[in-house]
Amino acid sequence: MKIIITGGTKGIGRAIADKFAKENFDIAVCSRTQTDLEDLKTELTKLNPNIKLLTQVCNMKNKSEVLAFADLIKKEWGDFDVLINNAGVFLPGAIAEEEDGNLELMMETNLYSAYYFTRALLPTLVKKGKGHIFNMCSIASKIAYPNGGSYSISKFALLGFSKVLREELKEKGIKVTSILPGATWSNSWAGVDLPQERLMEANDIALSVWNAYSLSPSAVVEEIILRPQLGDL
């Protein structure tokens, strides 16, 4: 079994990689930083020395790099079973106050990357007649909140992309699940002075992904909303 995770060296992506490594999945991961990929290789190999790892440096906001990563997967693997469109960026700011270019950056990273990457790999899944695509949306995909700005716009759009995929692929045996987490410990929250229990653990999201994947072929979880027990921040 094989899984692809974009932005899989830290936070939620890393937790998903750890979980699927424990379940004996070969893993393809991209990151913007080679050293992060090397560290991931070392740690996943310790976790499960029997799995195969495929890595590539890739800035997901650049279409050419996205397509190059897809080409590598098709060349080295041929097919796969699970795609996690996880790569994303969060820059806070109100629409009237955020820096010029924030919208373009977050649309390219949070939406276009998933669109181009999925399009490049879809023929493989369609030919196979099965597979599962997870898009890492956000609670900001449903609720606009102060200082969300272009981030929320991009995440609303990603949820729309997921809904369209779901309709287009349901007759082809391919599942599509949107994951909508609230505040989760990751690099986005690094240095925040809050109790550990105030935010969710990245592993909570990884377990939800695994459970959704584990259903029978006749069932699909279309959306998963997860929030901290004490509510949104």
Which residue numbers are catalytic? 151
Angstrom distance (rounded) from CA 130 to CA 45 = 28
- 3-state secondary structure at position 62: coil
Pairing of strands 82-85, 131-136: parallel
Residue 167 CB-density burial (10 A; 0-12 exposed, 13-18 middle, 19+ buried): exposed
- Asked whether 15 and 202 are in contact (CB, 8 A), the reply is yes
Place of tokens 């995440």: 155
Angstrom distance (rounded) from CA 43 to CA 45 = 5
Angstrom distance (rounded) from CA 227 to CA 166 = 23
Angstrom distance (rounded) from CA 185 to CA 196 = 8
Residue 39 CB-density burial (10 A; 0-12 exposed, 13-18 middle, 19+ buried): middle
